[in-house]
Amino acid sequence: MHALGRFISELMEARSMSRPALERASGLSRQHIHQLLDDRRTSLGRMVDDTTIAGLARAFADIGEGAFIAKAAESMGVPVDRLAAVEIDLDRLSDEALLGILARRLERASSLRAQAANDEPQPLAARRGHKARERLDQEWGDREG
């Protein structure tokens, strides 16, 4: 079994989580979970998609996406032990750059949720963030004026 499958199995075992529980918590299909956990290959041929990573991170919220990405990379033969973490000084980024990063993350999260629900992505204001968006617009409008 590849490193990602072992990692998921270990997490499930530590939490006494069943496959149906993982299916419900992740939003991934039974077949997809079967492929991840019962794959006898020792390496993956390609990187798992964003929906899979997001679903696993949703099911194991305390773990986060980074650990699943690293295990998937390890499963592909990437020497993850030689990777170095890069510290980003967010204070050096402009407000526009930070807002751009936030917008892309919100768009990606919305797209992943919609994809998992087999639904069309909704605009930010249509989701529960309408009031937050109004406050953000007002705050940024006040700073510009």
| CB-CB neighbours of 38 under 10 Å | 11
* Inter-residue contact 96 to 113 (CB < 8 Å): no
pLDDT at 125: 46
pLDDT at 35: 87
Domain match, 63 and 120 both? no
Question: Which residue, of 82, 104, 121, is where some domain finishes?
Answer: 82
CA-based radius of gyration for the chain: 19
Residue 133 sits in which domain range?
90-144
Domain match, 70 and 20 both? yes
Cβ contacts of 87 within 8 Å, gap of 6 or more: none
CA distance 31 to 35: 6
Question: Which residue, of 50, 82, 114, is where some domain finishes?
Answer: 82
Domain match, 98 and 64 both? no
Domain match, 78 and 140 both? no
Domain match, 73 and 94 both? no
Q: In whole angstroms, how far apart are CA 46 and each of 43, 65, 73, 77?
A: 9, 17, 9, 10
Domain match, 72 and 100 both? no
CA distance 61 to 23: 14
pLDDT along the chain (145 residues), means of 10: 90 92 91 87 83 90 87 85 74 86 84 64 49 68 58
Domain count, the chain: 2
Question: Which residue, of 82, 110, 128, is where some domain finishes?
Answer: 82
pLDDT at 143: 56
Domain match, 127 and 103 both? yes
Six-digit token pair at 20? 């149906």
Domain match, 40 and 69 both? yes
Query: Which amino acid type is present at position 90?
Result: L
| CB-CB neighbours of 42 under 10 Å | 11
Domain match, 53 and 115 both? no
Domain match, 117 and 95 both? yes
pLDDT at 144: 54
Domain match, 44 and 13 both? yes
